[in-house]
């Protein structure tokens, strides 16, 4: 339902459809209204975007109260009930948010390179191809990525891989497969690939440091939640580095890797709103059990 992908009208229409599907699945009579609608979507990054989406969702009249925000807040709630927390997502892209018990939040514009972002699955995959190309033609240092990329796409050279993507012979979406190739090559000891993985750890550390510092949490107990496919995969070279860095930076913090999907966090946030900020523990357990991470 990202407005960046669908446009605002289509995104809001899709949200209305999803609410209708949920009501039908729950066999909820049309005479019964909803008290709370909590919507957390990708693309709700800037305050102006959150406001526009909030107004559009409220105008649907689907519930007495509606809450709209970035999907990372749902990920954060799915990861921990701790009111003092920082969440980092590294999936297709990368982003982070923080929250404090008094309601204060910290967030980033998350506009890609336009806002200084580095990393995420798309970026890592592109870097794997970048370094493989430069090693093959002599512009960059030798790396095992060259043979790994060529073999992965069954092409005679990395140049042939690049040309196949350019001409559409290889679907653009397949480039993302190189993210996993990068981690495999790095784990085998390749320095070029390992340098990229270390740079990814740098970025995750920086996001947590900035978010926690803004909220005055850096030297206090708080929870760090790691989510998104790149981080939930727990690639040892990245995961162990991040764990060690965060332990040095914030010794009082605890770390968890997401085991419940963000949609469960959205449900829990709605239930929090209906129960004075704290979903009953038995209900939270039921929600988490019903919605395991795929």
Half-sphere exposure of 245 (CA within 13 A, CB side): 19
| Three-state secondary structure readout of 48-75 | HHHHHHHHHHHHCCCEEEEEEEEHHHHH
Strands (E) in the chain, as ranges, are 34-41, 63-70, 85-90, 94-99, 105-107, 223-227, 254-257
Q: What share of the chain is helix, strand, coil (3-state, %, to 5)?
A: 55, 15, 30
**What's the whole-model pTM score?**
0.92
The residue count of the chain comes to 294
pLDDT in 10s for each residue of the chain, 294 residues: 889 889 999 999 999 999 999 999 999 998 999 999 999 998 898 999 999 999 999 999 999 999 999 999 999 999 999 999 999 999 999 999 999 999 999 999 988 888 999 999 999 999 999 999 999 999 999 999 999 999 999 999 999 999 999 999 999 999 999 999 999 999 999 999 999 999 999 999 999 999 999 999 999 999 999 999 999 999 999 999 999 999 999 999 999 999 999 999 999 999 999 998 889 999 999 999 998 877
The C-alpha atoms of residue 268 and residue 258 are separated, in whole angstroms, by 15
The dihedrals phi and psi of 223, each to the nearest 5 degrees, come to -110, 135
């Amino acid at each position: 339902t990202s407005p960046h992908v669908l446009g605002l009208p289509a995104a809001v229409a899709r949200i209305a459809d999803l609410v209708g599907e949920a009501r039908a699945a729950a066999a909820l009579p049309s005479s019964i209204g909803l008290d709370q609608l909590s919507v957390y979507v990708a693309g709700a990054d800037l305050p102006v975007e959150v406001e526009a989406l909030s107004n559009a969702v409220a105008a649907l009249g689907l519930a007495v109260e509606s809450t709209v925000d970035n999907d990372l807040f749902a990920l954060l709630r799915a990861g921990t009930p701790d009111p003092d927390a920082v969440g980092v997502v590294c999936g297709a892209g990368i982003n982070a948010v923080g929250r404090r018990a008094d309601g204060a939040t910290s967030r980033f514009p998350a506009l890609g390179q336009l806002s200084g972002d580095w990393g995420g699955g798309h970026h890592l995959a592109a870097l794997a191809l970048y370094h493989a190309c430069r090693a093959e033609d002599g512009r960059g240092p030798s790396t095992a990525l060259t043979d790994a990329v060529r073999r992965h796409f069954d092409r005679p050279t990395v140049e042939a891989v690049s040309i196949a993507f350019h001409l559409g012979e290889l679907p653009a979406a397949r480039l993302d497969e190189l993210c996993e190739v990068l981690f495999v090559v790095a784990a085998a000891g390749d320095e070029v690939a390992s340098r990229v993985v270390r740079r990814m750890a740098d970025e995750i550390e920086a996001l947590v440091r900035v978010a926690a510092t803004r909220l005055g949490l850096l030297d206090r107990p708080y929870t760090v939640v790691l989510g998104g496919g790149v981080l939930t995969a727990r690639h040892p070279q990245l995961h162990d580095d991040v764990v060690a860095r965060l332990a040095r930076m914030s010794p009082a913090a605890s770390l968890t890797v997401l085991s419940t999907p963000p949609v469960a966090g959205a449900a829990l946030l709605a239930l929090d709103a209906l129960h004075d900020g704290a979903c009953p523990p038995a209900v939270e357990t039921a929600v988490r059990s019903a919605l395991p991470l795929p």
